[in-house]
Structures are given as C-alpha cells and as structure tokens.
Chain A
Amino acid sequence: GENVEQHPSTLSVQEGDSAVIKCTYSDSASNYFPWYKQELGKRPQLIIDIRSNVGEKKDQRIAVTLNKTAKHFSLHITETQPEDSAVYFCAAHLSGNTGKLIFGQGTTLQVKP
C-alpha cells in the first residue's frame, strides 16, 4: 500500500539557518502533498501544499519542491526562528483515495536562539 517515509526524525538548527525535511512516497498515483506543523498540544496546521503538476511552491520563508520521477518532496524553511520549533509532518494523497492522507512519521525541529 501507499507509504511515506520522512527524514530526519529530529533536526536542530541555529536561529537564522535553513532547515530541510525530506519525504519519499511509494505510489506514483499520489497527486497532492501537504505539509503540517504541529506545536505541542495543538492541532496540525497546514503550512504549505503542492499538487503533482507543480514542481515547486514558495510562501515567504517556506518552500516545497516535488520530484515526481524520484517520488520525493522536500520542505525548506529559510531564516529559521525559535517559533518555527515544532513537529512537521509530510503527507501524500493518493488519487481516488478520498479523504485519506498518508502521513510521514514526523520531524521534530528545534531552532536554538
């Protein structure tokens, strides 16, 4: 079945540095790839998403890239700030598999002041 692998599981960076989180999916019919940020005790919040017909998308300090051939997508956060510290989840939606997101295992990002 569909599977999403996410790396690294933990990431520690200095404030102002960049952070990159990578995910690989197994089913080439996946057509939508959202990224969620979850702070402790709070709901997952959508921070950026990309559809399979787009290679890259950027929103201020956050960008996502998609390589359909290699079946992997990445989250890039530039100029990190302490408030970026959270758990980040990638996910994939398989075309036709309504309502279902397959999540990666999460990356705990720590931004040190």
Chain B
Amino acid sequence: KAGVTQTPRYLIKTRGQQVTLSCSPISGHRSVSWYQQTPGQGLQFLFEYFSETQRNKGNFPGRFSGRQFSNSRSEMNVSTLELGDSALYLCASSLAGEDYGYTFGSGTRLTVV
C-alpha cells in the first residue's frame, strides 16, 4: 500500500511569508502527527490531528497551525516565517495515535531566507 506522502519536498521562503505543507497518510490511518527536525533540537512534536480535530499539541508558538480534512489528509501552516523555522518538517501517520506503528513521510525541507 502507498506510504505517507508529503508535498512539496522542498520550499524556499522569505522571512515574513507564510507556508502550507501537506501530508497524506496511509490509507485507513486516521491520526496524523507533525514534527520539526533540526540539527540542534532534533525531532520535536508539533501537533496531532484525529478525525479533523487537534487532539494534542507541542510547545510551539501560535504561528504554527494545522488542520485535517475528512479524508484524513492534513495540512500544516506556518505564518510570519522566521529564519529559525528552517527545518525538515515530517508528518507521521498511525491508525489512532496510540501505542503502535507511526510511519513517517519523507518530509518537506523548508528554508527561510
């Protein structure tokens, strides 16, 4: 079956702009989580969506937001981009966001200049 699909793979944005990233989970998976990966901070949890509702949230500013659609696809939005937002953004899908099987997508590499 198809894996987790993230688009686009690469993005270059200017400070102050906003960006939207997309994640299509594995068919049948209803939970989508988003992570930020940087060399300094490692992998950090942003938020999780399940059945179109944000169920869990990490310690990121309100500039980071997301949503989930009825087909479980999820989008993440970052507004007023800062240089420090440059990172690899990964999404992970799982059946229900519990103790089993998180599969990651290939990520979106965001560079803010």
Asked whether any CB of chain B lies closer than 8 Å to the CB of A98, the reply is yes
Complex: A93 Cα to B99 Cα, angstroms? 7
Report the nearest A residue to B33, measured CB to CB. Answer: A99
Residues of A that sit less than 8 Å from B by CB:
31-32, 34, 36, 42-46, 49, 51, 89, 91, 93, 95, 97-106
Interface of B is mostly: strand
Identify 23 residue pairs between A and B in the complex whose beta-carbon atoms are under 8 Å apart, listed by A's number: A32-B98, A32-B99, A32-B100, A34-B102, A42-B106, A44-B90, A46-B103, A49-B100, A89-B42, A89-B43, A98-B96, A99-B31, A99-B47, A99-B48, A99-B55, A99-B94, A100-B56, A101-B33, A101-B35, A101-B43, A101-B45, A101-B92, A103-B44
With A98-B48, A104-B42 given, can you name 18 additional A-B contacts, CB distance below 8 Å? A32-B98, A42-B106, A43-B104, A44-B43, A46-B101, A46-B103, A49-B100, A49-B101, A93-B98, A98-B50, A98-B96, A98-B97, A99-B33, A99-B49, A99-B56, A99-B92, A100-B33, A100-B56
9 residue pairs, one from A and one from B, having the closest CB atoms: A99-B48, A32-B99, A99-B97, A98-B97, A99-B33, A103-B43, A43-B106, A43-B104, A44-B104
Query: Is the beta-carbon distance between A97 and B56 smaller than 8 angstroms?
Result: yes
Which residues of chain A are near B96, meaning CB under 8 Å? 98
Closest chain-B Cβ to A93's Cβ sits at a distance in Å of 6
A98 → chain B closest CB, angstroms: 4
Give Cα distance in the complex from A49 to B98, angstroms. 13
Residues of A within 8 A of B102 (CB): 34, 46, 101
Residue in chain A with minimal CB distance to B44: A103
